[in-house]
């Protein structure tokens, strides 16, 4: 199915729902892996919003990607409890380690592992606690070696 047909189905499902923008964006990203830029005008029209309003919400929430993700998506927790135990340095390390790789790095704000941070999530399925740069490198080496 092409993007317009899929988008029309998503918009039809949410059109009359108050505050439909976030559920629509979540579903679009779930289906396509990101928010394709060409979907923004149709989303804006269907929900009676301006394109700028839709863009504003997409860029406000770190969760939404505006480009296709890499083979894996790795989220490093940037919330306070993880920041207090080395999360910021870990995020910097992850950025340098993943530069040019096909792993997409994204921030996340709390993964529920606050007592044993820094926390990292891989592909929305695996959670890793007490992450260090060394453990992060080992984890990325495992991910990148997967077929």
Please, which residue, 100 or 112, has the CB nearer to ligand FES? 112
Helix ranges, the chain (H)? 3-14, 21-32, 40-46, 51-60, 80-83, 87-98, 133-145
Q: Is 111 in the site for ligand FES (CB under 6 A)?
A: yes
- What are the strands, taking DSSP E only, across 71-125? 72-77, 103-108, 120-122
**CB of 119 closer than 8 Å to CB of 82:** yes
Closest contact distance (angstroms) between CB of 113 and ligand FES is 4
Site map 117..136 versus ligand FES, x via CB under 6 A: x-x-----------------
User: Segment 71-110, which members bind ligand FES (CB under 6 A)?
Assistant: 77, 79-82, 110
- Cα 33 to Cα 19: distance, rounded to the nearest angstrom: 22
CB of 129 to ligand FES, least distance (A): 8
Q: How far apart are CB 81 and ligand FES at their closest, in Å? A: 4
Q: How many residues bind ligand FES (CB under 6 A)?
A: 12
Candidate residues 40, 113, 120, 140; the one interacting with ligand FES per rule CB under 6 A: 113
What are the tokens at 126?
Answer: 């695996």
| Integer Cα distance of 26 and 58 in angstroms | 10
Binding site for ligand FES (CB under 6 A): 77, 79-82, 110-114, 117, 119
């Amino acid at each position: 199915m092409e993007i317009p047909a899929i988008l029309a189905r998503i918009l039809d499902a949410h059109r009359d729902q108050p505050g439909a923008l976030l559920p629509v964006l979540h579903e679009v990203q779930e289906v396509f892996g990101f928010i394709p830029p060409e979907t923004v005008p149709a989303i804006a029209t269907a929900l009676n919003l301006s394109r700028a309003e839709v863009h504003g919400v997409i860029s406000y929430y770190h969760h939404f990607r505006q480009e296709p993700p890499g083979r894996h998506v790795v989220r490093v927790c940037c919330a306070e409890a993880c920041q207090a135990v080395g999360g910021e340095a870990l995020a910097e390390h992850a950025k340098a380690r993943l530069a040019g790789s096909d792993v997409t790095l994204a921030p996340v704000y709390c993964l529920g592992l606050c007592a044993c941070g820094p926390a990292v999530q891989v592909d929305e399925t695996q959670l890793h606690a007490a992450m260090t740069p060394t453990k992060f490198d080992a984890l990325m080496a495992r991910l990148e070696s997967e077929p």
